[in-house]
Amino acid sequence: MSNRPVRVRFAPSPTGPLHIGGVRTALYNYAFAKKNKGKFLLRIEDTDQKRFVEGAEDYINESLKWLGMKVDEGVREGGDYGPYKQSERMDKYAEYAHKLIKDDKAYYAFDTPEELTEMRAKLEANNMSAKYDATSRMSMKNSLTLSEDEVKERLENGDNFIVRIKLPRNEEIRFHDVIRGWIVFNSSQLDDKVLLKEDGLPTYHLANIVDDHLMEITHVIRGEEWLPSAPLHIMLYRYLGWEDTMPEFAHLPLLLKPDGKGKLSKRDGDRLGFPVFPLEWKSPEGEISSGYREKGYIPEAVINMLALLGWHPSDNQELFSMDELVQAFDLERVSKSGAKFDVDKAKWFNHQYLMQASGPELLAMVDNELALKHKVRGEEYLIKVLDLLKEKVNFASEILPLGDYFFGLPSTYDEKVLNKKWNAETAEHIAAYITDLVTENKDTAEVMESHLTSYAETNGISKGMLMQPLRWVISGQAGGPPIFEMLELIGLESMAKRLQVVQERFPMA
């Protein structure tokens, strides 16, 4: 690594909601920057005005914020290398395109769409690849084939033109990728890509390289889909004389569908029932795509899940806070092969973070209206219930529907327990046990448990025989959270009442 201070950028195009693969790219950039005490930039690449989508930029900002990736330099944050939005930097790009023309590294091309189609058809008919390149450009209408005067005249007349890069024929282009090692392309595999479009705006390639250079980016960490563009980018650095400070490249592996067959696409989310976007997105046409946030995922869980989709630490640690991730992160431990998306694992991560959440944090995750309905016994009580039941679920929203009986008498009684476990003997023991607790005011989980042990011993029965019927009398359920903690929370008064209800409804005597 060079000694320049590390500066990386996440450079999304605001063409729609940010895909979860893009979020992972942002995360790896962020972790790498923080690990190396560098800067994390957010650059909005909006040169393609045709694909611009209203709201997409805000969506990107909100997603990064929700996930805890603080941007050091960007449109909102400012910084010394701005503007951070390409549409506000348009004056910078043409200058470099013209410098390349002057240096004979690029040229004006005046071909009409019909002429281009004709060229392609001709080349294809001769079984040659239909590329505008070192071979074909000399038979086209451009500043390499037209006389200087004619070019001048066309430009002065305001004829339509584009600027293309002039790539060499049959030259090796080598570069080192931090994740993939040495990569070799041959320039003949490429075509003379457009640098400036007819409307005078730069293409992604030119704007991206100019900006990475001017913003002193040291590492380009981006998705594998950009690997085929990398040799062109290398050539641009070379042609512009910026090779010495060219960033290092790291092309991240693809995020694959759960079955490993192909790239995880926008449509997979709704098809397979999991979000592929961080936040819910409503398209300008009104179509809604689900988001991790609205589905009840905890941002730290999403970060943790994404961190391990393509990267692995040197040991088997699976749970990483953002700080731990930053400490452990290393681009060299990013894998070359695609990472399969696993929705069960995503839920597992959410469960882990739910388990770490405190009661008040859980309360904040529950829908307000639902929480309000469950405040019959006060907020503190509600918080304790949430805390007690969290281990049973993956999402905070699933907790309260499991625990209705904490907020009122059970509405149903599990039939299996009724038929198999509720008999004269258990009915008598449970009544005696609960009565003991009430008369002796044994109201903590610990005391209730030790009393059950001694009660069972005194009566020569097994403790296990009473556990499920006891739970059933109090909650109506066959299973649930740790029983004595549940009893302590429900309290002796309500327990006595519940016993009475069961005795009246399912009499055994």
Of 11, 101, 119, 339, which lies in the binding site for ligand GLU, with binding defined by CB under 6 A? 11
Instruction: List binders of ligand GLU among 175-204 (CB under 6 A).
Output: 204
Distance separating alpha carbons of residues 480 and 469, to the nearest angstrom: 13
Q: Which stretch binds ligand GLU (CB under 6 A): 10-18, 172-180, 391-399, 407-415?
A: 10-18
CB atoms within 10 A of CB 322: 20
79 phi and psi angles, rounded to 5 deg: 145, 170
* Residue for token pair 């029932």: 273
Q: Cβ 277 to ligand GLU, closest distance in Å?
A: 15
Cβ–Cβ under 8 Å, residues 136 and 121? no
Residue 193 beta carbon to ligand GLU: minimum distance, rounded to whole angstroms: 14
Question: Closer CB to ligand GLU, residue 222 or residue 498?
Answer: 222
The span from the CA of 268 to the CA of 404, in Å, is 35
- Which residue's CB is nearer to ligand GLU, number 175 or number 204? 204
- Could you tell me which stretch among 9-17, 418-426, 445-453, 495-503 binds ligand GLU (CB under 6 A)? 9-17
Interaction residues for ligand GLU, span 470-489 (CB under 6 A): none
Active site residues: 266
Tell me the HSE value of 202 on the side-chain side, using a 13 A CA sphere.
Answer: 24
Question: CB of residue 13 vs ligand GLU: minimum separation in angstroms?
Answer: 4
- Within 106-165, the residues that bind ligand GLU by CB under 6 A are none
C-alpha dihedral over 21, 23, 29, 30, to 10 degrees? -160
> Toward ligand GLU, which CB reaches closer, 22 or 481?
22
Shortest separation between residue 303's beta carbon and ligand GLU, angstroms: 20
Which CB atom, from 86 or from 426, has the smaller least distance to ligand GLU?
Answer: 86
- Which residue spans within 187-274 are E strands per DSSP? 194-196, 219-223, 248-252, 255-256
**Which C-beta is closer to ligand GLU: that of 208 or that of 468?**
208
The residue assigned the tokens 């067959």 is 261
Q: What is the DSSP letter of 458?
A: H
Chain positions 35 to 64 lying near ligand GLU, rule: CB under 6 A, are 45
**Strand 219-223 and strand 248-252: pairing?**
parallel
Nearer to ligand GLU, 26 or 385 (CB): 26
Select the span of 59-67, 192-200, 218-226, 270-278 touching ligand GLU (CB under 6 A): 218-226
* Cα four-point dihedral sign 404, 408, 411, 415: positive
Q: For ligand GLU, which residue of 7, 13, 73, 230 counts as binding (CB under 6 A)?
A: 13
Find the shortest distance in angstroms from Cβ 274 to ligand GLU. 22
Choose one: 7-15, 160-168, 260-268, 481-489; the region binding ligand GLU (CB under 6 A).
7-15
Least spacing, CB of residue 323 vs ligand GLU, in Å:
26
Nearest distance, CB of residue 221 and ligand GLU, angstroms: 8
> Which strands form 106-109's sheet, in the order they lie side by side?
106-109, 162-165, 194-196
DSSP code string of 412-453: ---HHHHHHH-SHHHHHHHHHHHHHHHHTT--SHHHHHHHHH
Binding mask 220-249 for ligand GLU (x = CB under 6 A): x-x---x-----------------------
| DSSP 8-state secondary structure symbol assigned to residue 78 | B
Q: Is 208 in the site for ligand GLU (CB under 6 A)?
A: yes
Q: What angle do CA 118, 121, 125 make, to 5 degrees?
A: 140
Residue selected from 6, 7, 12, 56 as contacting ligand GLU according to rule CB under 6 A: 12
Q: Which element (helix H / strand E) includes 26? A: helix 20-35
Task: Name which of 220 and 325 has its Cβ closer to ligand GLU.
Answer: 220
Which residue, among 344, 342, 177, 339, has the nearest Cα to 263 in the 3D structure?
A: 339
Tell me the closest approach of the beta carbon of residue 341 to ligand GLU, in angstroms. 19
Distance in angstroms (rounded) separating the CA atoms of residues 454 and 458: 6
Nearer to ligand GLU among residue 142 and residue 208 (C-beta):
208
List residues near ligand GLU by CB under 6 A: 11-13, 45, 204, 208, 220, 222, 226
